[in-house]
Amino acid sequence: MKSRLIMIAAVIAALVLIAGFAISWFGLFGGNSNGKLMLYGNVDIREVNLGFRVGGRIASINVEEGDKVKPGQRLAALDQAPVDARVAEADAAVAAAQAKLALLRNGSRAQDIMQAKAGVTAAEASYRKAQQDADRREGLVDPGAISKGTWQATLAQLDTSKAQLDEAQQNYSKLKQGARPEEIAAAQAQLESAEAARRAIGVDRSDSVLTAPSDGTIVTRAEEPGAIVAPGATVLTLSIDRPLRVRAYIAETDLSRIAPGMKVTVIADGNAKTYHGTIGFISPQAEFTPKTVQTKDLRTDLVYRLRVIVSDPDDALRQGQPVTVAVTAWSE
């Protein structure tokens, strides 16, 4: 009996040793042989379709597929002759509005005021003469010394002279006082409208030149010079490779072992070089199925998306490439 107990104790000890070896060698219950948490994913594909905000005929395209570009680099341009004509028209409208506003603000010239005053003097003389003729002929109507037709013509001339005098006096007063505030405000508004139209056309002219929004590589040249393109149509596709990001996934059971800011290493398939990075964003939501969890067993199938920013990328690390992410300092 005693020997049997000794044998059982030896078997149990052997099993414990085997289990310990399996844990340390095969990385069971978290980690692997070198103490790293291994995650898997791909280099993020980040592309932007570039096009003109305005339509027109493409005059030039300065890049080819595969070319590296810098922010602000000129990539393509539309024929600018139509927009240049609109710019010239808008400039003329602005100049006309500026001249009108200046005329109203500066008031009438001295020569115009003197001319209006002379017009008043002439109208007053004409009115006095018509009044004198009416006074002299009024007593000749009843005796029949003048006809009723002549008298009616005399009165008509008097009324005409009076109207001309009133008009001359009003014109002189207007020129002397200058423009009303409402007229100046209307002219100012007209100038501002012309200037706004000119700025809008200037924006259209700027948008007829396509520039690179950021560092990247041209991956698609969709159009060629001479093509007529609509506003917003894709002309070039730019791959944004800086900053380079890796999209990886971690099991729900390992989620507590990582945190934003942790340092990681990144290894691409078929590339012996090791890259360095930092864990950035960790998704707060689980992905893949099931969407909701009712049992404890299903929770082990959940994964969470995370983003790694690679600090030392090169051209050998390409977008969409499968990679392995090793977390070297994860929590037990």
- Same domain, residue pair 171 and 227: no
Structure confidence at residue 290 (pLDDT) = 46
- Whether 317 is covered by a domain: the verdict is yes
What domain range is 112 assigned to? 84-204
- Same domain, residue pair 305 and 292: yes
Structure confidence at residue 80 (pLDDT) = 92
Looking at the DSSP bridge assignments, the partners of residue 166 are none
- Same domain, residue pair 111 and 167: yes
Q: What is the pLDDT of residues 209-252, one digit of tens each?
A: 999 999 899 999 999 999 999 999 999 999 988 888 898 888 88
- Same domain, residue pair 178 and 266: no
- Same domain, residue pair 198 and 102: yes
Low-confidence ranges of the chain (pLDDT < 70): 1-35, 108-109, 176-179, 287-301, 329-332
CA dist., res. 42 & res. 58, Å (int): 37
pTM, whole model, 2 decimals?
0.59
CATH code for position 311: 2.40.30.170
- Whether 53 is covered by a domain: the verdict is no
- Whether 52 is covered by a domain: the verdict is no
- Whether 189 is covered by a domain: the verdict is yes
b/e for 50-63, b at 16 or more Cβ within 10 A?
bbbebebebeebeb
CATH code for position 233: 2.40.50.100
- Same domain, residue pair 168 and 213: no
- Same domain, residue pair 286 and 323: yes
> Structurally, how many domains does the chain consist of?
4
The helix or strand, by DSSP H or E, that contains position 160, with its residue range, turns out to be helix 148-177
CA dist., res. 276 & res. 265, Å (int): 5
- Same domain, residue pair 93 and 180: yes
Q: Using alpha carbons, select from 176, 159, 157, 158 the residue that is nearest to residue 119.
A: 176
Q: Which long-range contacts (CB under 8 A, 24 or more apart) does 283-289 make?
A: 286/252, 287/249
- Same domain, residue pair 233 and 246: no
- Same domain, residue pair 169 and 187: yes
- Same domain, residue pair 251 and 279: yes
Q: Pick the last residue of a domain from 151, 182, 204.
A: 204
- Same domain, residue pair 90 and 175: yes
Looking at the DSSP bridge assignments, the partners of residue 50 are 236
- Whether 332 is covered by a domain: the verdict is no
- Whether 263 is covered by a domain: the verdict is yes
Q: Pick the last residue of a domain from 239, 256, 284.
A: 239
- In this structure, the number of other CB atoms found within 10 A of the CB of residue 31 comes to 19
